[in-house]
Amino acid sequence: MKYEGWPDPGELVVGKVDEIEDFGVFVDLEEYEGKRGLAHISEVASGWIKNISDHVKEGQTVVAKVLDVDTSSQQIDLSIKDVNDHQRSETIQRWKNEQKADKWLTLAFGEDMADDRFREVVDELLDEFGSLYDGFEQAAIHGQPALEDVDLPESDITAIVETARENVSVPYVTVTGYVDIESPNPSGVDDVQDALKAAEGNGEIPEEVDMEVTYVGAPEYRIRIQAPTYKTAESELERAAERAIATIEDAGGSGEFHRERRTDDE
C-alpha cells in the first residue's frame, strides 16, 4: 500500500534509486503514490564525491531524509547522507512491517475488496494506531477490545482480529515469582487449593496474559507469567501473588511472595 499526499520535511522515507545523474540521484518513494524525490550530489554522501555510482546504484533501496517539499513544483528534496545506520535499519523494518500488514489486509478482506472500502479500513487503523502493523499487532494481543475505538463494522473488526491472530508473531516476555503458602487448619489442603485458584485469577486474567502456577516443593509454588510487555507481566505476577496470599490469610493461613527459589528441588 502507498500513501496518498506528500511526506513531511524531516520524515524518513524508503525509496528506490531510479536514475543517477551527475548532479544527483532521483529516488522513487516506495511509501507514497506517484512521488519522486531528488538527492543532490552534496546530499548523497559526506565529503567530496567523484562518482555518485560509487555510493549508490540504480535499483538500490535507500532511506532518505525529506529536506523540503514544494507541492506547486512537485519537488521533494532528499538527503541520503543525513540518515545514520540506526535510523536506516529502523525505517527499513517499519517499511517491511507495513508491507506485511498490507498483505494481511488482503487476507482479511479478499483481493476483490473495493478501493474505497480498503481506504476506509486503512484510514481508521492509521488514525487509531499510527500504522497498519501496530493495529494488527494490538488486535493479535488484545483482540476486539483493541479496536473498540475504531469506527468500523463488527464484521470488519472480527476479520482483522482473526487475521491478526493467525499471522502476527507477537513478542512476549516471561517473568517468574514464588509464593510460600501454608495453612494450619484441618482443611489446609483445600485452603491451599483455594489460594492457588485465586492466584490464577479464576479465569479472569487479561486475554493476552498466559499464567502457569506449579508446585515446587512444600510450601512453595511457582507463578510464571507470559505477557506482551514487562510492565504487564510484572503487574500480573504481583496481582497473582497478592490474590493467593489474601486468600490463604483469610482462611487463617500464611503466605509470602519472593522472586528466588528457596527449595532444592525443581
* HSE-up (13 A, CA, CB side) for residue 90: 7
What sign has the CA pseudo-torsion 157, 160, 166, 168? negative
Indicate the pairing of strand 12-21 with strand 24-29: antiparallel
Residue 136: all three cell numbers together: 494488527
Looking at the fold, whether 254 and 178 belong to one and the same domain comes out as yes
Looking at the fold, whether 138 and 104 belong to one and the same domain comes out as yes
Per-residue confidence (pLDDT) for residue 141, from 0 to 100: 82
Looking at the fold, whether 72 and 135 belong to one and the same domain comes out as no
| Domain count for the chain | 3
- What CATH number does the domain containing 151 carry? 1.10.150.190
Looking at the fold, whether 160 and 91 belong to one and the same domain comes out as yes
- Per-position b or e across 162-172, b if 16+ CB within 10 A of its CB: ebbeeebeeeb
Closest CA to 240 of 200, 192, 195: 200
Per-residue confidence (pLDDT) for residue 172, from 0 to 100: 82
CB 227 within 8 A of CB 173: yes
Distance CA 167, CA 225 (A): 23
Distance CA 17, CA 29 (A): 9
Is residue 113 assigned to a domain? yes
Q: Dump pLDDT digits (tens) for 148-196.
A: 999 999 999 999 999 998 998 877 889 999 999 999 999 899 999 999 9
Is residue 6 assigned to a domain? no
Per-residue confidence (pLDDT) for residue 117, from 0 to 100: 87
Is residue 33 assigned to a domain? yes
The position carrying cell 525509496 is: 15
Which residues lie below 8 Å from residue 199, measured CB to CB, with a gap of 6+?
Answer: 179, 211, 213, 221, 223, 240, 241, 243, 244
CB 183 within 8 A of CB 192: yes
Looking at the fold, whether 99 and 162 belong to one and the same domain comes out as yes
Name the burial class of residue 192, with classes exposed (0-12), middle (13-18) and buried (19+) by CB atoms within 10 angstroms of its CB: buried
Looking at the DSSP bridge assignments, the partners of residue 69 are 76
Is residue 157 assigned to a domain? yes
Residue 111: all three cell numbers together: 483481493
Per-residue confidence (pLDDT) for residue 264, from 0 to 100: 53
Per-residue confidence (pLDDT) for residue 1, from 0 to 100: 61
Per-residue confidence (pLDDT) for residue 266, from 0 to 100: 43
Looking at the DSSP bridge assignments, the partners of residue 262 are none
Looking at the fold, whether 111 and 76 belong to one and the same domain comes out as no
Q: Among the three residues 107, 142, 167, which one is the final residue of a domain in this structure? A: 167
Q: Among the three residues 118, 143, 167, which one is the final residue of a domain in this structure? A: 167
Predicted TM-score of the model (pTM): 0.65
Distance CA 226, CA 211 (A): 6
Is residue 3 assigned to a domain? no
Distance CA 258, CA 237 (A): 11
Looking at the fold, whether 221 and 187 belong to one and the same domain comes out as yes
Looking at the fold, whether 38 and 25 belong to one and the same domain comes out as yes
- What CATH number does the domain containing 215 carry? 3.30.70.1130
Domain around 198: 173-258
Q: Among the three residues 25, 48, 83, which one is the final residue of a domain in this structure? A: 83
What sign has the CA pseudo-torsion 131, 134, 140, 145? negative
Looking at the fold, whether 187 and 132 belong to one and the same domain comes out as no
Is residue 5 assigned to a domain? no
Is residue 1 assigned to a domain? no
**Residue numbers of the chain with a pLDDT score lower than 50:** 265-266
Looking at the fold, whether 73 and 149 belong to one and the same domain comes out as no
Looking at the fold, whether 148 and 192 belong to one and the same domain comes out as no
Looking at the fold, whether 49 and 17 belong to one and the same domain comes out as yes
Is residue 264 assigned to a domain? no
CB neighbours of residue 181 within 10 Å? 28
- What CATH number does the domain containing 71 carry? 2.40.50.140
